Amino acid sequence: MSLYLRLVPVRMVLAVTLALAACAPAALAAESPARENLLSFTTSATLEVTKDLLGITLQVVKEGTDAAAVQAQLKQVLDAALAEAKKASQAGAMEVRTGNFSLQPRYGKEGRINGWQGQAELVLEGKDSARVAQTAGRLTGMNVTSVGYSISRELADKHDAEVTAQAIQKYRTGASELAKQFGYSSYVLREVSVQSAEQGGPRPVMYRRSEASVASMDAPVPTEPGKGVLSATVSGTVALVK
């Protein structure tokens, strides 16, 4: 049995090691850009618009000792209101949908169930506020529990480009001004993100009427749209240039 050994000159290993070490900084520099003179900041723009989407929630509450009977009563009132509301429904103008439907036990002093209480909701929503309000006023057997305006997706999309352009222009102006304040002549955009949103969201206005007045009330529910705010935010990083 023989053992063969190959001796590698030390200077060759050293040369290879030095060569690899010399290439490492260049490779790292190519993979990750220089971090000098980077500036990160955020700007935003807002646009006030009139809310155009009216939503009205109606509710019926029933109580009794038998759960099945209470549920049947809720269903009867809800079905009648739903059928009436659908007569006035129209795509874009007014949509109709059911809301929460719940049935819960009612407890006595001894902690035992002595009855049941249930509630059902019907929601009317649309851009034709007169149609929505008048329909809500005609639905008997249900109480209006909330009235609220919001900004529709179509209206938000219509003004999104405008408010976004304002935010971007503010970012560009801000980048130029900050560069000068730091003693640089210009800037180069490194990365940026743009986001838009509705501020505040819908503001519901509580409105209630008694069960006794439901049958005789056929006037429109009073509504007032108010204003909403659309916003756009631009966040990013720029490299300052001499």
- Show the domains of the chain with their CATH numbers: 38-48+156-197+234-241 (no CATH), 53-150 (3.30.70.360)
Q: Answer whether 179's CB lies under 8 Å from 241's CB.
A: yes
pLDDT of residue 204: 43
Compute how many other C-beta atoms are within 10 angstroms of the C-beta atom of residue 21: 9
Q: Answer whether 94's CB lies under 8 Å from 126's CB.
A: yes
What string of pLDDT tens digits covers the 242 residues of the chain?
333 334 334 333 333 333 334 444 444 444 444 567 899 999 999 999 999 999 999 999 999 999 999 999 999 999 999 999 999 999 989 999 999 999 999 998 888 899 999 999 999 999 999 999 999 999 989 999 999 999 999 999 999 999 999 999 999 999 999 999 999 999 999 999 999 887 654 444 444 443 333 333 454 577 788 899 999 999 999 999 98
pLDDT of residue 123: 97
Would you say the pTM of this structure is higher than 0.95? no
pLDDT of residue 215: 36
The burial class, CB within 10 Å (0-12 / 13-18 / 19+), for 159 is middle
Q: Answer whether 97's CB lies under 8 Å from 120's CB.
A: no
Report the sign of the C-alpha dihedral through residues 91, 94, 96, 100, in that order.
positive
Question: First-to-last CA distance in the chain?
Answer: 72
pLDDT of residue 220: 57
pLDDT of residue 203: 44
pLDDT of residue 13: 31
